[in-house]
Chain A
Amino acid sequence: MKFSFNIGVASLLFLFALTGSSQAQLAFSGYSEHEVDQIRTSAQFYSGYNKFRLDMEQHPDARVSIYATLEAKRYFGKTSWLLSDFLPVASSIDTTFVMQDSLTAEYLYTVLEYGSLMITVGKQPLSIGTGYIWNPTDIFNRKDMLDPTYELSGVSALRLQYSGSRGDLDFIAQPFGDGSSVTAYLAGTTRLGHFELTGLAARRTFQSSGTAEAYDGYGGSAVGELLGLGVWAEFLANRSGNSGTFKSEWTAGLDYTFESSFYFMLERYHNDRGGIYSPEDGYSPVGVFDYLGGFNRALAGDYQFIMLRYPLGDLHSLSLWGIRNISDDSYVVAPQLSLSLFEDVDADISLYLFEGSANSEFGTQQLGGRIRLRLYY
């Protein structure tokens, strides 16, 4: 079993657990999760993991909170994959990646409160933007399109949030890997009727060909209600350097709940920087690298999403969702059954049906299935 293990972090957590005073009770919670996936590409494989998450929090003072989350994950089944098993990459750039067992401090952060000001420092969860799957204004994270509500990895950052009577301010600074620069984000939010409006400026630092580069972004988001429908949108115009052309990335969506509790959601996404596709050659290597390297949050530039959900009794629900890659005309459709088996036990059963040409994003795979069980404590 291989570990990705930070001894310093582990020591800190051990001390954290031991030195909690009687006045600052250490609270534990978390879950164990078990997942098995069936994947059919050129052949059929199964893969999965067992995961244990431990959340700890302590409040040594009314204005101070300390949070830590440890995660242990162990894989089984097929753990070594080729990129071409999941993405339409040319054989010349195809490479192997291995799912490695891990034990990590997923979150480790402190929250300080001074009246309307909240300071969060450390490796923390960041959830930015109004979109369900795609968040152009979230320059720190990228969601898994096929599992957008799953927890994201922590981001080491300093965050200052100010809540005022007229609106809120949010500032985030994330040091870049080699310490040469930072990724910074500044947003202001206000309310207008039933709408919440955010304007932002950001500078994102990323790795490109071994050096740190940055681009500046300006944009915003809105969430509210129009004609009874829930609506949201995000927009970010960004450019590299001072003379580059601004490129846009945006998402827009709407949802509604009927009186029968039937729910639907639609979302649309566009990115000027998305990978260029041609039916003959597939995706350009640059587009694939931009996606794999985390520069782009999706392979292509245009997508549509739809979700329908209906409750089955009081405890369970049935969903049907689909994502269409407009650029290469491929899609995935996924019926999903969500079950509340016991008070603290949930299960999700999903089927993934992929369709598209061989060199398209969703045409690489044929069929997939997933069973996930989560037990909370």
Chain B
Amino acid sequence: MKYITLLLLGALVLGQELTTEAIVDSMLVVMTPENARGLSRQINKTSSGAVRTLEYEYYADKGGEDVLMRYTKPNKVKGTAFLMTNHADDIWVYFPRTRRTRKLASHANKQKVQGSDFAYEDFAGGRTWKDDYTHRRLPAEKADEYKLEFVPKPEISSSYSRMVLTLGKKDFFPKVIKYYNTKGVHEKTLYMQDIKLIEGYPTAMTMVMHNELNGTETRMETLEMTYSVSFPKDFFSEGNLKK
């Protein structure tokens, strides 16, 4: 947060517009706190109008490099857990009834998370956006917003050919993310809503992912979140999935 303040002060003093790099750096600072622990509710709405509600515990460290999710509701999936390390390059899934852990290949990160409009790779963004994507600034619709385009580098395997982010100039936090599939078609839009400051970090208390192609929608509601958390050494490990 101090880095953003310095940047803004610098820009004010010098009367200069921020560079694209500075905007991306500022965005990543607010989007990727070092550690996080939370409880979320996921509401899936299908094109036929059916609704499914799930709740899960969420743990992340190293700015989202490692993520552990454990479902608490409904009864059908209670205890099912997913571990994603190396920005979802390695994925394990744990089934509590059989106490079986299965390692999935990275192609599995294209699959939907429990039938939602989020894919596993959607949870793995964060700091990879700087290293794995090229980025450029686009004209924004509003004066108080930035608009950035991210394109995965050729060596990166992604379901998306590009992503377009709209950020607020005040807090550098994304308000809207548009995902384009490998055919260049606008496939999904993520709306970050009800932004609150939690422990100094802007946090979207509601995220809505809308599938533009089939009309389905998934709503993620943050029920609890803290960033002042540290994890034991082996927390993000296969062994911890069973605990």
Which residues of A are in contact with B by a Cβ distance under 8 Å?
Answer: 29, 31, 55, 113, 116, 118, 124-127, 130, 151-152, 161, 163, 165, 168, 194, 196, 223-225, 228-231, 255-257, 259, 261, 263, 311, 313-315, 340, 343-344, 346, 376-377
Contact = CB atoms under 8 A, between A and B. Distances in A.
Nearest to A163: B239
Can you list the 5 inter-chain pairs with the closest CB atoms, starting with the nearest? Answer: A230-B105, A163-B239, A127-B100, A376-B75, A225-B105
A19 to B, nearest CB: 24
15 contacts: A116-B239, A151-B98, A165-B234, A168-B239, A225-B106, A230-B104, A230-B107, A255-B105, A259-B110, A263-B111, A313-B47, A343-B52, A343-B53, A344-B75, A346-B76
B52 to A, nearest CB: 6
A315 B115 contact: yes
Nearest to A117: B239
Interface of B: 44, 46-48, 50, 52-53, 74-76, 78, 89-90, 97-101, 103-108, 110-112, 115-116, 157, 159, 181-182, 216, 233-234, 237-240, 242-243
B44 A343 contact: no
Contact of B115 (A116, A152, A168, A340): A340
Contact of A257 (B76, B111, B216): B111
Contacts of A255: 105, 107
Given A127-B99, A194-B106, A255-B107, 19 more contacts: A116-B234, A118-B239, A124-B99, A163-B234, A163-B237, A194-B89, A194-B90, A196-B103, A228-B157, A230-B107, A230-B108, A256-B105, A261-B110, A261-B111, A311-B112, A314-B44, A314-B216, A343-B53, A344-B75
Nearest to A116: B234
Contact of B76 (A194, A228, A230, A344): A344
B74 A376 contact: yes
Contacts of A225: 105-107
Contact of B46 (A29, A223, A261, A314): A314
Contacts of B100: 125, 127
A271 B17 CA distance: 69
Nearest to B75: A376
Nearest to B107: A257
A313 B115 CA distance: 9
Contacts of A377: 75
Contacts of B233: 165
Contacts of A151: 97-98
A111 to B, nearest CB: 8
Nearest to B44: A314
Chain B binding surface, main DSSP class: loop
A113 B52 CA distance: 35
Contacts of B50: 315
Q: Which of B48, B75, B182, B233 has the most CB of A within 10 A?
A: B75
Nearest to A132: B102
A191 to B, nearest CB: 8
A314 B74 CA distance: 16
Contacts of A231: 105
A228 B107 contact: yes
Contacts of B52: 314-315, 340, 343
A256 to B, nearest CB: 5
Nearest to B78: A29
A224 B46 contact: no
A228 B52 CA distance: 32
Given A116-B239, A224-B103, A224-B105, A259 B159 contact: yes
Contacts of A116: 234, 239
B46 A313 contact: yes
A119 to B, nearest CB: 13
A80 to B, nearest CB: 30
Nearest to B103: A223
A229 B182 contact: no
Contacts of B108: 230, 257
A376 B89 CA distance: 32
A315 B117 CA distance: 12
Contacts of A256: 105, 107
A343 B76 contact: yes
A59 to B, nearest CB: 11
A231 B107 CA distance: 11
Nearest to B234: A163
A125 B233 CA distance: 27
